[in-house]
């Protein structure tokens, strides 16, 4: 099955821009979705498709993709953005499975 690779940890200064990446062969064929998870809470979808935000997600969150890499960008990071972020996509092996990245812990300094 496919794998999605994320950096374990990233930090950003308050108000600055940060990019969180997700790499995997499946991303050459399928879009990634991105989830935010705070301690003790369920994940929340923040980006899906080419660059779509569900209702209620601030527009400082955006998504992009190039080759085998998908990116989640937070423009003007806020303290409340400190969380774990996960990407997922379809498995590229044709088995209709879904794969998640290992997650990135975002610290807002």
Partner 1 sequence: EVQLVESGGGLVQPGGSLRLSCAASGFTFSSYEMNWVRQAPGKGLEWVSYISSSGSTIYYADSVKGRFTISRDNAKNSLYLQMNSLRAEDTAVYYCARSETVPAFDIWGQGTMVTVSS
CB of 97 to partner 1, least distance (A): 6
3-state secondary structure of 95: coil
Stretch near partner 1 under the rule CB under 8 A, chosen from 16-24, 27-35, 66-74, 75-83: 27-35
- Beta-strand (E) ranges in the chain? 9-12, 18-23, 33-37, 44-47, 61-66, 69-74, 83-90, 98-100, 104-108
C-alpha to C-alpha distance for 48 and 33, rounded to whole angstroms: 4
Q: Is 100 in the site for partner 1 (CB under 8 A)?
A: yes
Q: Which stretch binds partner 1 (CB under 8 A): 9-17, 43-51, 59-67, 70-78?
A: 43-51
Using CB under 8 A, list all residues that contact partner 1.
Answer: 1, 30, 33, 35, 37, 42-45, 48-49, 54, 86, 88-90, 95-103
């Amino acid at each position: 099955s496919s794998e999605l690779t994320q950096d374990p940890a990233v930090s950003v200064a308050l108000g600055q821009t940060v990019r969180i990446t997700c790499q995997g062969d499946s991303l050459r064929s399928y879009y990634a979705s991105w989830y935010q998870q705070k301690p003790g809470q369920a994940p929340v979808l923040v980006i899906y498709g080419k660059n779509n935000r569900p209702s209620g997600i601030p527009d400082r969150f955006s998504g992009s993709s190039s080759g085998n890499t998908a990116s989640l960008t937070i423009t003007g990071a806020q303290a409340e953005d400190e969380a774990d972020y996960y990407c997922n996509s379809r498995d590229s092996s044709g088995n209709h499975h879904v794969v998640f990245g290992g997650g990135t812990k975002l610290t807002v300094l």
